[in-house]
Amino acid sequence: MKDTVKVILLFKSPTGCLLLLGLMLVLGNGCADKPHVAAPAATPPSSRVGDRIIVIGDIDAYEPLKKVKRFKPLADYLAENLSEFGIGRGDVVIAKDIPEMAHYLDQGEIDFFFDSGFPTLAVRRLSGSQVILRRWKGGSSDYWGTYLVRRDSGIDSPEGLVGKVVAFEELYSTSGFILPAGTLIKKGFKLREVSGPDEDVSPNEIGYFFSRDEENTIELVLDGQVAAGGITNLCVGRDALAA
């Protein structure tokens, strides 16, 4: 992949980009209209029995089972190691959006919520919850956002994205949407959400849509279906970024 793609923009700091918080929360409320698929492996918050269940929460409006599979081993591990405190089982509950997660935390129906910077700050703002741990991602304590393009695309700067479509991961992803999209907005570019990579965009705007997974974003770039993809640097590796 190193010989096929290149990075045209790096951004590490969320300063200014988090001003999109209000806008994203409004967009997030729109997700509430989508049917929420309850994760069968999780116990619904209303059925918790006393303090014998420790519940980990996450947000995913589209593939909740994927998040359950990711966090259930951690929930089981915590339950096993907290048995002396009366914890008998670990569960995972998936909220469909930030407001729902904030509600679960505010009502004490979820004990821990793990996520990246933006959704964590948004949920804390709505629920009054506290940040107590810093989670490493992919074995790295620090990571940042990038724009990935094909080397043969002729795109060497953000200006080359105007009139084209880019792919982002998901609405609440810090490195896969908030930082890359926020950086373009700060630079004065006009972004418009489109239905997919084939939708036409005007010559003065950048179209975007959500691929729902960083691997999907990379494939869309490699296949030439989108002009660029906003992803974390951990997906392409430090060697590729330095090329």
Q: What is the C-alpha to C-alpha distance for residues 68 and 39, in angstroms, rounded to an integer?
A: 7
Q: According to the model, what pLDDT value does residue 123 have?
A: 92
Instruction: Evaluate whether 119 touches 172 at the Cβ level (below 8 Å).
Output: yes
Higher pLDDT, 186 or 13: 186
pLDDT at 194: 96
Selection from 89, 80, 84, 94 nearest residue 50 by Cα:
89
Query: How many percent of the chain have pLDDT more than 70?
Result: 72
Overall fold of domain 5-20+140-242: D-Maltodextrin-Binding Protein; domain 2 (3.40.190)
> pLDDT at position 126, please?
92
Please give the pLDDT value at position 48.
46
- For range 228-232, the mean pLDDT: 89
187-192: average pLDDT? 94
What is the predicted pLDDT for the residue at 7? 59
Nearest CA to 61 among 38, 92, 90, 91? 38
**What's the pLDDT tens digit per position in 25-42?**
434 444 444 434 344 444
Lowest mean pLDDT among 18-27, 43-52, 151-160, 192-201: 18-27
Extents of the domains making up the chain = 5-20+140-242, 29-127
Helices of type H across the chain: 21-30, 64-81, 98-106, 117-127, 179-186, 214-222, 237-242
Instruction: Give kind and range of the element (H or E) at residue 57.
Output: strand 53-59
The arrangement of strands across the sheet holding 112-113 comes to: 89-95, 53-59, 112-113
